[in-house]
Structure 1
Amino acid sequence: MSKNHGRTGEDWELVTVEDGRGRLPLDTDKDPEGLCEIVAQSRILDASLVRELSVELPPRTVGHTWQLAYSTSRHGSSLKSLYRRLKGSDSPVLMVIKDSLNQVFGSFLSHPLRPSETFYGTGETFLFMLLPRFKCFRWTGENSFFIKGDLDSFAIGGGSGHFGLWLDEMLYLGRSSPCYTFNNCCLSERDDFHVMELEVWKFW
């Protein structure tokens, strides 16, 4: 980030090309709706991480309150429970994972996670890394393997038998691999990881 002092003496914060976001000047005074409440409820996110993620979210989430729909610490580690908590919702969801190596990553889903016979979702869906570094992986247009929910696992992104993000039915064993959908790297330090905390946020 760099600051330019204009002729009027106002401070403008500019996002440079090196930030990799290619966005217009960012007004960091506009925090997400209910930022303090989000941080108070989350066991993963602090204010700076919420702000970083908020910049990347689609316009239709702006002005909506983040609602914690599911967390493993509150609701147990069960994919079926997660499906039940999201049933009937049409809100996009933000899934954030903290693994056993204290790395934080996840995915924004254009539609709620649910059991499905085929992949569903739209190009709004993306994968991200938050800690130890921040990076987003957006839709490449190579395929439409966005979201797939089975009774014993779920997957985000795919191609050639590899999923960008995959979790088992206990939401404990996970795997991340490069995939054609998002052209992502492995989100965790290791291909296979253990989930220490998982949170799913809705917007309303």
Structure 2
Amino acid sequence: MGVAYSVGEVDHLYTFFAQWSPEVCHKGDNQWKPHYVIKDKNQNHILVVEKDIAAINKILSKPINTAAKKWEIITAKDSKRRQSLCSSDDSEAEEPSYHDVLPVLSDHSNLLDDHHLEKLAAHMPARTYGYQWQLVYSTAVHGSSLKTLYRNMAEVDSPVLLVVKDMHKKVFGAFSSDPFRVSKYCYGTGETFLFSFNPDFQVYKWSGVNSYFVSGNWNSLQLGGGGSGFALWLDADLYRGSSFSSPTFHNAPLSTNEDFIVQDLEVWTVQN
């Protein structure tokens, strides 16, 4: 028989790894080692972790028994072939991968279609799976104001997806582990990534070089830094922006030009 862990323990363990704990996550050659998934079949808890079981056992009250039937440790790639318990005969049947299920949007998006959602879903962290995405800000609805964007996120404590469409019809943006806010210092975790459709999809994950994920003030919002410019920069009117290669993500410029004009902008947040 396997051992059961409380939701609190699962959340605590997830938070531990989401913050890139140095006890478990080790960096080498600016790349992270292959991740593994701990999966509770009964509760559908999924945790992306390193394979250092000793470090994991320090966090949980009951050590992980890798031979237990209730828990499996599998590669993130193999997690796409999730198994579920059949209610009729307790036999295991193939279950669609969360990566294969499109995120559900609460409202119509002017910028995202099924193609965009399908590509982005494959790179979303496990903690966002199965939850509905709510539109928290849109230039089409709320006007063009960074101040309004911050105000709409005052009560948000979930990850956010920023989507921009420039005057050249190019769609790009960022997934941020933390909601956007005014802060004196940079914030966010290594879950944060950039993306663009050109029209081919490109994703830029954290390089590990620095932790300049997100910073914001009343005059601008910035993602990625440490180089000659920000990976993504937006002004107070959410009208002008710029995108440069940055050490944080080792990204190419997201827009057609390094300086661009915003046509539409949306921010979505996952409600959990």
- Shift of residue 122, structure 1, vs aligned partner: 0.5
Aligned-partner Cα distance in 1 for 2:154–2:136: 11
Contact 2:172 2:197 in 1 (8 A): yes
Aligned-partner Cα distance in 1 for 2:77–2:129: 16
| Displacement over 2 Å in runs of 4+ | 22-35
- Aligned partner (choices 152, 175, 178) of residue 108 of structure 1: 175
Q: Number of matched residues?
A: 180
Residue identity opposite 1:99 in structure 2: D
1:65 aligned to 2:135? no
Q: Which residue of 2 aligns with 1:138?
A: 205
RMSD: 1.7
- Shift of residue 33, structure 1, vs aligned partner: 4.5
Aligned-partner Cα distance in 2 for 1:128–1:28: 22
- Aligned partner (choices 220, 227, 242) of residue 175 of structure 1: 242
1:31 aligned to 2:98? no
Aligned-partner Cα distance in 2 for 1:118–1:128: 23
Percent identical among aligned pairs is: 46
Contact 1:32 1:63 in 2 (8 A): no
The structure having more radius of gyration, on CA atoms, is: 2
Q: Which has the higher contact order (CA 8 A, sep 6+)?
A: 1
Q: Which residue of 2 aligns with 1:75?
A: 142
Aligned-partner Cα distance in 2 for 1:135–1:150: 28
1:190 aligned to 2:260? no
Structure 2: gaps of 5 or more residues: 1-75, 82-95
Residue identity opposite 1:138 in structure 2: K
Aligned-partner Cα distance in 1 for 2:97–2:118: 8
SS at match of 1:83: helix
Aligned-partner Cα distance in 2 for 1:111–1:44: 21
- Shift of residue 34, structure 1, vs aligned partner: 2.7
Matches within 5 A, 1:135-174: 135-174=202-241
Aligned-partner Cα distance in 2 for 1:160–1:113: 21
168-177 or 41-50, which deviates more = 41-50
- Shift of residue 23, structure 1, vs aligned partner: 4.2
Contact 2:103 2:117 in 1 (8 A): no
- Shift of residue 171, structure 1, vs aligned partner: 0.4
Deviations 1:92-143 (A, max 9, x none): 0000000000000000000000001011110000110124120100001100
Aligned-partner Cα distance in 2 for 1:23–1:136: 17
TM-score, normalised to structure 2's length? 0.63
Structure 1: gaps of 5 or more residues: 1-21
